[in-house]
Chains A and B, each alone.
Chain A
Amino acid sequence: MSFLVLRELKKTYGDFVAVEALSLDVQRGEFISLLGPSGCGKTTTLQMVAGFVEPTGGAILLDGHDLVAMKPSRRGLGVVFQSYALFPHMTAAENVAFGLEMQKVGRAERDERVRNALELVGLGGFAERYPRRMSGGQQQRVALARALVIRPHVLLLDEPLSNLDAKLREEMQIELRQIQRTVGTTTILVTHDQSEAMALSDRIVVMNGGRVEQIAAPQEAYERPATPFVAGFLGKTNELSGTARVEGGETRVVIADGRWASRRPIDGAVIASVRPEKIAFADCAAGRLTGLVKTRIFQGNHWLYRIETLAGQVFVIRQNGGEPMPAENDKVGLTWRPEDMALRAADGRR
């Protein structure tokens, strides 16, 4: 049995369904992200695990024990809040020591563990500092140390990096992953930032409107999104209408003037979803999707193209490798490998 099990977890407020029958198995030591737009139910799910929100239905099992019946203060979970929620009237060390005090850990051991925890997050010299005299990044680290020092069964992170600026956030992502690997604590992260979720997690749970859209490893969710929502939420994608027909052992896909052969057995009107960076430029040979370059934007390490084709607008991202690139108003052909194209029936069947 998995370490942490959420079974058919449900939360409703009157008629409003915040979380609908969410089931999830988390392995020991795994890093899971709950990813979705605001209001998708990810924070509510985390709060149910933490015990701050009572589920309407379903079960939460930790190592086989029912967590719902347990008081939040007895669950032994480490929580890092979006606002950090540091105790403003206590120093960094006192903040970190609080959980150990509650566990009645002896003075000597407490001091030792507080020191180690602060060192782990790189704040060895800041023990006596008050939170309001620390930067956002430092407060974030204190919050992490405070949650980790009690050796929690599970670490819950509620949008922990959303209040940091972009550069610091990237640094903290790397550090967070490193610390989690070192300590080996099972971790659940709530975030609306898809790149953060993909960078940190072993698996991501994409949520929308209280429902789970997909649970998968980051690369799998990105390459083979289970639903249009996942495809759209995890980075840009092109959605192109076409037709497919099974012929012999192959499926022939036609999108405007372009033709592809696919192994996926599907028939009739289809939607093909292709990531912009998977599309390459080629000459306008027969059987290729052709189009006109409408705009071209330079974005440092890559170019972003908007191409007008018979199948509609197509976005293309090409790495800036230094070679000559098509200019605006050039006529171009577009190609991609069949396996880079996710196909689904246009009427909603998969």
Chain B
Amino acid sequence: MSTPASDNAAPSAWLLSLPALVFFAVIVIVPLIMTVVLSFHDWGEYKGIQPVFILKNWIEIWSDPYFGEMFARTFRIAILVTLITAVFGAPEAYILNRMRAPWRGIFVLVLLGPLLISIVARTLGWALLFGGNSGVVNAALMKLGVISSPIPFMFTETGVIIALAHVLMPFMVLSVWAALQRVDPQIENAAASLGAGHFTTLRRVIFPQIVPGVLSGGIIVFALSASAFATPAIIGGRRLKVAATLAYDEFLNTLNWPLGAAVATLLLVCLVVTIVGANRLIERRYAEVFR
């Protein structure tokens, strides 16, 4: 028999969780609430932050097309990055899963290891590769005859998308790989024994089983790229703003904290709604697969 819950579970459980709970209440919840409140405060260049309740910042975000454009860019980048990681990461996870020891272990380290390497260092690598017109990527592409004139990567959405796809790719590979590990290794042989060709097996047997992995990996990649900061800041520069870099500018350059807080709050709300909604959808659609 499974261990039944003891009768006085709740008090001891809360007592044990109390230190962490208090910490979170004070250091996470209170500051978040204060941020939301801050977004309703007034600000002026000379008067600073005025603790009043006004909708000024929210109206500004709503009415100024600059913010709409910036949020559209943020989510456009996030969607494209998600698609790229899914299209390229899922096959790689499949290949990785079919490798034998010790190669599999080595490439797991090679492909997932970058996850733990500083984002700044990885993005710097892309800045070096793109490096204006003389960058390695353009030089190689021109030598191969793929392009005749250098593609501008630095300070463009293309560059940001490629670098972000690289930074977040391990999450997708990891997620799809986790789904693949739940697949019975004999299942391909079973399909083959029933007369299915390799491609048919992939399409009809393997693919449906990794869809949940792609979707949950997609949620992670989407959320992380929509809130990404260092990569768009370095590759996108000061001109190509996304939500996170804009909020940063309002806080540390313009010093208009209330407006920055409003941008941040909006980003948080958008993300939470997207993630929770997508999770619900996936869980309902794939409830039996996830079990």
Contacts and interface: CB of A to CB of B under 8 A. Distances in A.
A44 B1 CA distance: 8
B4 interface: yes
A39 B4 contact: no
Interface in A46-61: 52-54
A39 B8 CA distance: 23
A39 B5 CA distance: 16
A54 B6 contact: yes
B64 interface: no
A53 B1 contact: no
B7 A54 contact: yes
A18 B8 CA distance: 18
Contacts of B1: 38-39, 43-44
A173 to B, nearest CB: 23
- Interface residue tally of chain A, by bracket? under 10
A50 to B, nearest CB: 13
A43 B6 CA distance: 15
Interface in B1-36: 1, 4-8
Nearest to A11: B4
Nearest to B5: A13
Nearest to B8: A54
Nearest to A18: B4
Interface string A33-47: 000001100011000
- Interface residue tally of chain B, by bracket? under 10
B287 to A, nearest CB: 25
Nearest to A43: B1
B9 to A, nearest CB: 11
A13 B8 CA distance: 13
A79 B5 CA distance: 20
Interface in B117-168: none
A144 to B, nearest CB: 22
A198 to B, nearest CB: 23
A52 B5 CA distance: 10
The CB with the most chain A CB atoms within 10 A, among B1, B5, B6, B7, is that of: B1
B75 to A, nearest CB: 46
Contact of B6 (A18, A39, A53): A53
A87 to B, nearest CB: 19
Nearest to B1: A43
Interface string B230-271: 000000000000000000000000000000000000000000
Contacts of A38: 1
Nearest to B3: A52
Contacts of B8: 54
B13 to A, nearest CB: 16
A13 B2 CA distance: 13
A13 B6 CA distance: 10
Contacts of B4: 13, 18, 44, 53
Nearest to A54: B7
B286 to A, nearest CB: 31
A18 B5 CA distance: 13
Nearest to A38: B1
Contacts of B5: 13
A34 to B, nearest CB: 13
A246 to B, nearest CB: 46
A266 to B, nearest CB: 39
B12 to A, nearest CB: 13
Interface string A238-268: 0000000000000000000000000000000
A18 B6 CA distance: 13
A38 B2 CA distance: 11
Interface in A1-52: 13, 18, 38-39, 43-44, 52
A52 B7 CA distance: 11
B3 to A, nearest CB: 8
Nearest to B7: A54
A192 B7 CA distance: 27
A54 B4 CA distance: 11
Nearest to A55: B7
Nearest to A40: B1
A127 to B, nearest CB: 31
Contacts of A54: 6-8
A192 B87 CA distance: 53
A115 B209 CA distance: 56
A26 B7 CA distance: 27
Contacts of B6: 52-54
Contacts of A43: 1
A39 B4 CA distance: 12
A35 B285 CA distance: 44
Nearest to B4: A13
A53 B2 CA distance: 12
The CB with the most chain B CB atoms within 10 A, among A38, A39, A53, is that of: A53
A39 B1 CA distance: 7
A77 to B, nearest CB: 18
A314 B1 CA distance: 35
A39 B2 CA distance: 10
A77 B1 CA distance: 21
Contacts of A52: 6
A38 B1 CA distance: 7
A55 to B, nearest CB: 10
A91 to B, nearest CB: 27
Interface in B56-94: none
A13 B5 CA distance: 9
Nearest to A41: B1
Interface of B: 1, 4-8
5 contacts: A18-B4, A43-B1, A44-B1, A53-B4, A54-B6
Given A43-B1, A54-B7, 12 more contacts: A13-B4, A13-B5, A18-B4, A38-B1, A39-B1, A44-B1, A44-B4, A52-B6, A53-B4, A53-B6, A54-B6, A54-B8
Kindly list the 5 A-B residue pairs having the minimum CB-CB distance in the complex, ordered from nearest: A43-B1, A54-B7, A13-B4, A53-B4, A39-B1
